[in-house]
Structure 1
């Protein structure tokens, strides 16, 4: 009863919160229309008390408490202290005059910015006649972002100017030569010498200002709040969209590759909209979906990277996933009829302002049970006070495969298979008087390049427009976007439409309301691109696209035998339909209430609603009479309500406290319905209702809810000594009542020697900080929706009783299932040298996960095979380093370098099982990996391939004792073959990172970005597939196209080759034909294990800021032209095409397998960015 009342109250609170916010926003539009654009200093009434704190701290409080824009030198203002003063409804002008009374500083409002500068008086035009002008536009280096409030001083004179909200300035000076100094808080000072002014002439002088180290001490988004970076105790990486020199890629995760230490990102394939593998600081759980980070957009935890949610099934009879092997030898890889979507592809990258990645426990513990995989906080753009600003971005792209696999021609194929079947047919027939040769002959004369037939030069375009601005009361940002990207497979593309509205209004001095909302539609017609790509590589090249009657060749044409599959890559790409349409509404509404000068309340209600439809239709073809269709409807609905109190207060002399106390409620509902049909009258019939046979193959609704209580307390003393504590308690419906609630505390300490007296005046060290933290986080996703509960299935194994469907147990309940728990120790250092010219961050961490949830094998007599249990422990240790250096800063030239490198060692510390080998085997049979204690969860344990015996062409195998044999190890040791599997490397890299160099010369900017990975391995399943020539049964022969390498197969004694005899002891069945498999092609062997280390020229861009044009067009505030290339060059020892791809999509545990996976293309982009 109490539970139902609580849920009813929450539902009622949600409804009233939404209605109140809608009503508030309606009132805002009426109020805003009557408000003037700006307020004078005397119109702002201030009530505040300051005691024993720096002048900089006082101004900062005024800036945040009264939504004012100040321009000042933080270091200069920190020199002055305010003893004790109180203001009650005093005009801001009087407050500033009082605070600055005993200092050599003064203030003035310029273009909506209150400047605090040393007392200088600009020369009067009457006293010094004007002779000429200097005009210019000031932007942030490497971007087109204007910087308002910059002070420009003319050295040796009393002249100065301040940039307008759009970054423009103008100085009127007598004739002569001058030195100009440009300064603004957060940016390195710029100096221009020898600037000449002539009578009645105008000199144009644009300036780009670089971010200074002090800028890095400004506000950083953290969980449920913001914090100054200089007081940050956690390990947080920041990526800003403005750092990209050219066009944003289709998905923002692609832009982040190699940019942040500790954050490993790899695109799974080259299909537009495909998922990426994002892993932060290693493997923390053995759940395939548990290692992905929590993604939070504007405070809303969204449906993120989850294979269960994002995988689309297409084609009737589709099966998901695949196995690398088990008790039986895996002979071949079968392409699954699934596609994993990238959830970040539904977000418009052009709307993103910044991305913060929380990595250590002190940063992530505030997210409790979902923090072990790290947290990605995405903040979208907001409006700023000033005139309305229109930003337009137009871009186009051209892409094609960087490299293609080498395959046989039609004649090579025909000769090879004719010879193969002659050899295969003759096995065991010597001396048999009744033997008649099979005489399979594969025809020559046709050479169809199937891959060429389905490839194209893909094009793309994107267009984004936004309107932003604000007044003293309101800020707004409105955007529309369109993206279309073709795949390099014909008739496959990705299209996205998006709209966003971000708005906030200061309704009263203490009440602020706002909304952040986006609506997106993503149409992905590339679901089948991977299947077409693979089939085009493997289809027999001696078969024409169409037969003599003009119909598509679906089977093996005039060949005597072939695969028992129905495919024609060209027909699949041009006649089939495979697409998904995702409509997504994501956003929140919020209310901020200032209760006291040091106390505020915040409430927000957020939603993430996804309505998805996936449809697949195959046309009429052999064995699929009338064609078939599959349609899946999926609805995901998430509600989030957050309430919190924030405290920011100075106590005594130099003591500062900031605290947060909050509560969060989240509920998710997933509805999925899938239907199939076949036997359509003709190919024009698309609706499944018109199919002859129809069936619902899946229909489910599942829910999950979580209630949380959280808090944080940070303490600083004179910005030198730092301490913090966080705590979160989560209650989740995923666990039984006796295990439902668990707490996640964290603790942190920091010391900033650069604020101490012995380093305060040091001119070399600008900032030096040491920090350490320890805390706990969790992973509840490994439990699924109902992991602790007993699960049942209807009509199990098709059994009936009395003509009634039976119900069987799918999974037994486990009320003792516990939360996974990760303990993280982090020690870090931040340093800034030479006035911010060089800065570096280094972190060491040690993470230990206990009670990892694993599917455990149960005895057969229980009637079911698996149950979720807490069976494993894992650990991760690593170090991260990032360095930023402004190598050269000159009047017309600058050079900036950013470098980061990370290393991580993952280890399975323990498997809580009597028979660890049994657990490892079972997990591998379920499509996972083989585990052993002492090595990584992504380690390779393989049978040792020892090459080819040159005497007889037989494959050689080596067991763990070093003995070499021509008999496969699985046959040598049938009772315990796994004991002879040896550790041979890891799919995760030993080190990875990125190197970026940016060169600016006048209006030109060149950026070169390299990413690298070293020490990781990959199974080249692509090579294995192109070495596969044996059929799996007597009625089906896998006569796929092959690699030309096989033409070097062993043929005579003494021949040195790595291709064994066509028929050998490791692949032949006793009679030559019949059921057979090839041990040499098994992905459990080391034959196809390769080094996947690489260095990629990820991007190379050239941009030009069109300053001359801006002189003529005063309405144009900035104009930037750019051209960019991506994936231009790869240096690697991998014999495949792309060492980054993964046949297992986003799964970190499944990485390291290339199975003819579509590689990322080489892409050229060009575009324009303009602001008005």
Structure 2
């Protein structure tokens, strides 16, 4: 058991936080009155979001939230609907103008009250003869009718307003008229001319589309919101609520390739498995520190952390096992771990938007956890109006895009009979140590193991949500079910979820609410990867079951030798039982108190609680007598308390200031307990209590806490000049008292040339903004919870004396351990053209990390293995570009395009106080990966393979001097394992991004999206494994099944091939140990290093939206959409493997670039329906 730290400063901080919270919630309410309404209209600043609610509701919000007296006819204002308007720190007069735009309403001040009145249309009785006719129609937005649209007759004062279904009628004298359609935030496709015939009905329908400029959108930032046009930081937004019909298992799946600077790649094709999410490159040299902080509705959650999300379901270990060093030098060992995706417990359909904070000005407000970037997830909320019910149902089928081409049973037997009866270089039979004389591999059975375990995987998704509100209360409630089968038999992923988002305006000044979700995710696919690997490597000359047909063929069956670790994949998939179930409660409760029109207080208390149970059961079989079982229970508990004051105020002529002052406290407690049992009486027994031999294999409790003080101030002058400062101080239990507290400031400036006189006349430019920022952030993810303290473990070497456990030293204390510190410079430009039809952003950044924390080896005489130390510096620099355009927009046809591309270069610039090669030896992640100054942290350093000598079939090698030899470099220089390796490329791409197009014609919609990556390398360990016929570190040769390419091995002089002679100078058998070694399969040479650049058609969707006229007859639906979607349809790449995006080592960006028979992402077809009631 790891020693637990007593956090002596936690109770005092918690008491302090609670006192602040109680003080704010119980603060006094100030009355505000001022009859100088002309000044009030200029002085009051409004920050509000109005969406799908009546004009009456909007005015009531202004009344209650800003203590303004209005006079109006409530029934009249109920006739007008506000689709979507957002204001951040905007003057009250500007807000009223926007609200009343495109309506026949005006506002005026009378006796200290703001009156909202309308100009009545002229009575129809005044119409001149000839007799009148009628115009009728419906106004739609592509999906359903729009209520509250004003339909004006140009040149007259006649108008109509559409009803709840978007319908309108006008009675006019015969003649020709031009109609004008107007609605807040919308634009009509045309202003049609209509001929009215006396006594007849003329039909005129109209389509409208959203025209709200992105400049006025409110962007979620850390601890607040800000209008996009005033934004000083580099923030990328994914509008999940507007995604075209997708039903992804996790939200990161939907975001791949869509955000500049955000690299996302699935680690494998296993449902619910972890993804690699990296923002602007590698920020630290610790595998656990490169994932961004994820915040859901203000709660920092347990995010992408291999230490928390990896379960060793066979051994009961809760932390990730490092598949590094010698384990992958010659061959990759089959793991017993599975890294879960923490976002798999979140329902993507509940998510409204995702903001990604990238530069220091945006992330410094999160201080010590901001250097790897921050992802802010905002869930859907309700809005005033009648209840709306949304339902989405979809079903899908998935299968691998392609599978490996392998030998059949007869080819396999012929190949190995040939191998084991050849002579090696010293004249002995290569098989003489472990194969009986004249024994051969049998023929006649041809089992395609992949066909036995791979299936068409079905998926089903069902979501229902209800939303609405009144003048004071808004609500959003959802329930969801998702089940995704793996394409490996008997493996699947299931999720149940429920969410409640609720807020209530209790008084004119006090608003309270709750945002809470309950989710359960069960993954029965923990061993899918192992089953897939076994299906590739299992000998094909063995039948699925033995001659009786009752028992599975385990181990190597009738073959004279074989790897015992390759089990029967069908038996493993069907007889075993393994799963992981996560129950998660995530959310917060909050209160907002309006102290003054320009000052408010906000407090919230959030939680992220996860209960996880992982279970694995192996039945009785050869090598596992009596069977075995492992069960792991994990509890994660996090509490967050936030308190802040927000201020928005205008001074003088055009001076605007917004500020925030806050405090945050966070505490996490984590418990893990694992038990293991063997020798069960029968295979039906599942409880470990019934095992003959049972033991606790892991017991761990750890905790940490952090207290923070934060502030931000933004200044703006006439939307032309912008400035901002943020500061956060963090105190963390992860560091000693001398280094516990540290501050993280940031600074930003902005200039909007489009507000200058010399550009104001250029109508094509909506806004041109230039911004620059510099700031400091930190990273405490690589430090662990007790990185500065001495640590102890029980049975450090697995030994005990007389059944008495021993305690050993694991890590000495390091009281001088300091925070990692990252400095980021960012320069960016934002431009919007042609009333928002074109918008683009460009950013250049340079980010330097100092004092990167590494777990470094210590001299043996100290009595310790490792210690956390500040050892390295590294730099990332890059450029990002994104553009979106509305290419065509007519009444019936629209075409929109998005494109983004990012480039990043990562460099290790210094390795403190230690020889580079020594550091490499200590921290080698995998066979060809270590760190060297001047190159990336994900660089490959490999021996140079030069192909096959066609005259004799011998492998050839090139040393650093350029000399070619048939002797492996490793054998030539056995004492210099690093100096003779060359830089061969990088696992991180040089550039990556995505581009998409959306076409709509009347009700039809076609959306296609491509993602791409260029310049990255992948080590094709899958190919190496399928070429591996000798290498082994166990007591027997591999004799795995092989690629069908292996029949083309060199056999005669002059033959051109890339596969050497079977027995050559680069492989050997070691007498007395029964093991073999093949240098050509060593992961430290570049034989299997390949270009993994690609372009992938990630999604293709065809849908049809029924309009309100079509739905009118149903009297049920207000919106209805049918769609068909395909994912991963095709890929263009030079990579010879199955999927250039996979990562054998899970979510860690440091460990990416290895494909070790990793399950590829499937191709998926889906059909679905979305309906609103």
Instruction: Decide: shared fold, TM above 0.5.
Output: yes
SS of equivalent residue, structure 1 residue 292: coil
- CA 1:281/1:339 → structure 2, altered by over 3 Å: closer, same or farther? same
- CA 1:135/1:430 → structure 2, altered by over 3 Å: closer, same or farther? closer
CA offset at residue 5 of structure 1?
8.5
Q: Judge conservation of contact 2:44–2:598 (CA < 8 Å) in 1.
A: no
1:510 aligns with 2:509: yes
- CA 1:863/1:651 → structure 2, altered by over 3 Å: closer, same or farther? same
Match for residue 603 of structure 1?
603
Q: Judge conservation of contact 1:494–1:526 (CA < 8 Å) in 2.
A: yes
Q: Distance in 2 between matches of 1:364 and 1:851?
A: 19
Q: Distance in 2 between matches of 1:428 and 1:1001?
A: 76
Q: Deviations over 1:988-1015 (max 9, x none)?
A: 1111111110111111111111111111
SS of equivalent residue, structure 1 residue 423: coil
Match for residue 861 of structure 2?
861
Note the aligned Cα RMSD (angstroms). 3.5
- CA 1:326/1:636 → structure 2, altered by over 3 Å: closer, same or farther? closer
- CA 1:415/1:1105 → structure 2, altered by over 3 Å: closer, same or farther? same
- CA 1:512/1:1020 → structure 2, altered by over 3 Å: closer, same or farther? same
CA offset at residue 151 of structure 1?
4.4
Q: How does 1:458-607 map to 2 (within 5 A)?
A: 458-550=457-549, 551-565=551-565, 567-607=567-607
Gaps of 5+ in 1: 25-43, 73-85
Q: Distance in 2 between matches of 1:467 and 1:87?
A: 29
Match for residue 1145 of structure 1?
1146
CA offset at residue 184 of structure 1?
4.5
TM-score normalized by the length of structure 1: 0.91
- CA 1:862/1:459 → structure 2, altered by over 3 Å: closer, same or farther? same
SS of equivalent residue, structure 1 residue 1149: helix
1:396 aligns with 2:395: yes
SS of equivalent residue, structure 1 residue 570: helix
* Most deviating of 977-986 and 735-744: 977-986
Q: Distance in 1 between matches of 2:34 and 2:487?
A: 63
The one of 138, 143, 168 aligned to 1:136: 138
- CA 1:964/1:197 → structure 2, altered by over 3 Å: closer, same or farther? farther
Match for residue 34 of structure 1?
none
Match for residue 83 of structure 2?
none
CA offset at residue 807 of structure 1?
2.0
1:989 aligns with 2:993: no
Q: Distance in 2 between matches of 1:628 and 1:430?
A: 39
Match for residue 40 of structure 1?
none
CA offset at residue 138 of structure 1?
3.5
Match for residue 286 of structure 1?
285
Q: How does 1:35-114 map to 2 (within 5 A)?
A: 60=46, 69=55, 90-93=69-72, 107=100
Q: Deviations over 1:272-311 (max 9, x none)?
A: 1011000000011011011111000000000000000000
Q: Distance in 1 between matches of 2:50 and 2:139?
A: 27
Q: How does 1:379-390 map to 2 (within 5 A)?
A: 379-390=378-389
Q: Judge conservation of contact 2:838–2:886 (CA < 8 Å) in 1.
A: yes
Match for residue 420 of structure 2?
421
CA offset at residue 736 of structure 1?
0.5
- CA 1:433/1:527 → structure 2, altered by over 3 Å: closer, same or farther? closer
Match for residue 314 of structure 2?
315
Q: Distance in 2 between matches of 1:348 and 1:104?
A: 38
Match for residue 917 of structure 1?
917
* Most deviating of 1136-1145 and 804-813: 804-813
SS of equivalent residue, structure 1 residue 1059: coil
Q: Judge conservation of contact 1:161–1:169 (CA < 8 Å) in 2.
A: no
1:344 aligns with 2:323: no
CA offset at residue 970 of structure 1?
1.1
Q: Distance in 2 between matches of 1:467 and 1:359?
A: 34
Count of residue pairs brought into register by the alignment: 1130
Q: Judge conservation of contact 1:1118–1:1171 (CA < 8 Å) in 2.
A: yes
Q: Distance in 2 between matches of 1:574 and 1:105?
A: 63
Match for residue 1166 of structure 1?
1167
Q: Distance in 1 between matches of 2:372 and 2:144?
A: 33
Match for residue 170 of structure 1?
168
Q: Judge conservation of contact 1:110–1:162 (CA < 8 Å) in 2.
A: no
Q: Judge conservation of contact 2:958–2:965 (CA < 8 Å) in 1.
A: yes
Q: Distance in 2 between matches of 1:660 and 1:1054?
A: 76
1:1136 aligns with 2:1115: no
- CA 1:666/1:625 → structure 2, altered by over 3 Å: closer, same or farther? same
- CA 1:950/1:691 → structure 2, altered by over 3 Å: closer, same or farther? same
Match for residue 261 of structure 1?
260
SS of equivalent residue, structure 2 residue 614: strand
- CA 1:160/1:584 → structure 2, altered by over 3 Å: closer, same or farther? farther
Q: Judge conservation of contact 1:901–1:991 (CA < 8 Å) in 2.
A: yes
Q: How does 1:962-1041 map to 2 (within 5 A)?
A: 962-1032=962-1032, 1035-1041=1035-1041
CA offset at residue 1062 of structure 1?
0.5
Q: Distance in 2 between matches of 1:87 and 1:16?
A: 24
Q: Distance in 2 between matches of 1:545 and 1:106?
A: 72
Q: Distance in 1 between matches of 2:351 and 2:431?
A: 76
Q: Distance in 2 between matches of 1:1032 and 1:389?
A: 63
Q: Distance in 2 between matches of 1:677 and 1:593?
A: 56
Q: Deviations over 1:676-714 (max 9, x none)?
A: 101111111001111111010001110010000000000
Match for residue 882 of structure 2?
882
Q: Judge conservation of contact 1:772–1:828 (CA < 8 Å) in 2.
A: yes
SS of equivalent residue, structure 1 residue 918: helix
1:378 aligns with 2:377: yes
Q: Deviations over 1:447-476 (max 9, x none)?
A: 111100111111111111111111111101
Q: Deviations over 1:74-132 (max 9, x none)?
A: xxxxxxxxxxxx9986335599999989x999959989999999986534344458743
* Most deviating of 833-842 and 168-177: 168-177
Q: Distance in 2 between matches of 1:397 and 1:433?
A: 53
Q: Deviations over 1:122-155 (max 9, x none)?
A: 343444587435343543x7xx588666544443
CA offset at residue 1031 of structure 1?
4.8
SS of equivalent residue, structure 2 residue 477: strand
Q: Judge conservation of contact 1:48–1:87 (CA < 8 Å) in 2.
A: no
Q: Distance in 2 between matches of 1:1060 and 1:106?
A: 76
Q: Distance in 2 between matches of 1:1009 and 1:1047?
A: 40
CA offset at residue 218 of structure 1?
1.9
CA offset at residue 739 of structure 1?
0.4
Match for residue 366 of structure 1?
365
CA offset at residue 797 of structure 1?
2.4
- CA 1:868/1:472 → structure 2, altered by over 3 Å: closer, same or farther? same
Q: Distance in 2 between matches of 1:87 and 1:635?
A: 44
CA offset at residue 943 of structure 1?
0.6
Q: Deviations over 1:1041-1095 (max 9, x none)?
A: 0001111111112221110110111111365983321111111110000000000
Match for residue 1111 of structure 1?
1112
* Most deviating of 749-758 and 645-654: 749-758
CA offset at residue 247 of structure 1?
2.4
1:7 aligns with 2:6: no
CA offset at residue 444 of structure 1?
1.2
- CA 1:375/1:645 → structure 2, altered by over 3 Å: closer, same or farther? same
Match for residue 810 of structure 1?
810
- CA 1:158/1:586 → structure 2, altered by over 3 Å: closer, same or farther? same
CA offset at residue 203 of structure 1?
3.8
Match for residue 81 of structure 1?
none
- CA 1:211/1:571 → structure 2, altered by over 3 Å: closer, same or farther? farther
Match for residue 85 of structure 2?
none
Q: How does 1:745-894 map to 2 (within 5 A)?
A: 745-799=745-799, 804-894=804-894
Q: Judge conservation of contact 2:626–2:682 (CA < 8 Å) in 1.
A: yes
Match for residue 1096 of structure 1?
1096
TM-score normalized by the length of structure 2: 0.91
Gaps of 5+ in 2: 1-5, 59-64, 78-90, 109-114
Q: Judge conservation of contact 1:619–1:627 (CA < 8 Å) in 2.
A: yes
CA offset at residue 565 of structure 1?
2.4
Q: Judge conservation of contact 2:104–2:118 (CA < 8 Å) in 1.
A: no
Match for residue 1124 of structure 1?
1125
